Amino acid sequence: MPKILREYPWKISYTSNTHNTITDFYIPALECAIQYDRKAGFFSSAILSKVARGLGAMLHNKGRMRLIMGCQFSPQDLQAIQQGYELRDALLSRLDADLKPPESFAQLKHLEILSWLI
């Protein structure tokens, strides 16, 4: 499969009646993309798990995603967002206190893997 967005054999249009828009469009597009911007009146975090393969490839390519969405979060989404901020803050505090510059190439690679996961 081409990894360049312009070289992918895109169709003129995608409809849920005749295509699986997740596998036929979103995942291949995200796998090729380095930036994804989207505005949506409704957003569900469930879509993130459905396009995880595409998002993983985009992030591996140092891609960025920006979302503007309506405030229609489920209570579970809001809790996950809050926990994410709390974990990020705790991790930053811990790293600031304990992290020393890598002393070897192997240590650097371990930190790169950690940063990619975060």
Task: Output the CA torsion sign for 21, 25, 29, 35.
Answer: negative
Whether residue 95 sits in one domain with residue 68:
no
Q: How confident is the model at residue 13 (pLDDT cuts 50, 70, 90)?
A: very high
Whether residue 84 sits in one domain with residue 35:
no
Query: Which of the pair, 75 or 99, is modelled with greater confidence?
Result: 75
Task: Output the CA torsion sign for 83, 69, 41, 35.
Answer: negative
pLDDT tens-digit profile of 57-96? 888 889 998 888 776 677 888 888 889 889 988 888 887 7
Whether residue 65 sits in one domain with residue 17:
yes
pLDDT tens-digit profile of 55-64? 888 888 899 9
Whether residue 15 sits in one domain with residue 51:
yes
Whether residue 55 sits in one domain with residue 23:
yes
H or E stretch including 39? strand 35-40
Q: How confident is the model at residue 114 (pLDDT cuts 50, 70, 90)?
A: low
Residue 23, pLDDT > 90, answer: yes
Whether residue 86 sits in one domain with residue 50:
no
Closest CA to 2 of 28, 38, 23, 36: 28
pLDDT reported for residue 47: 80
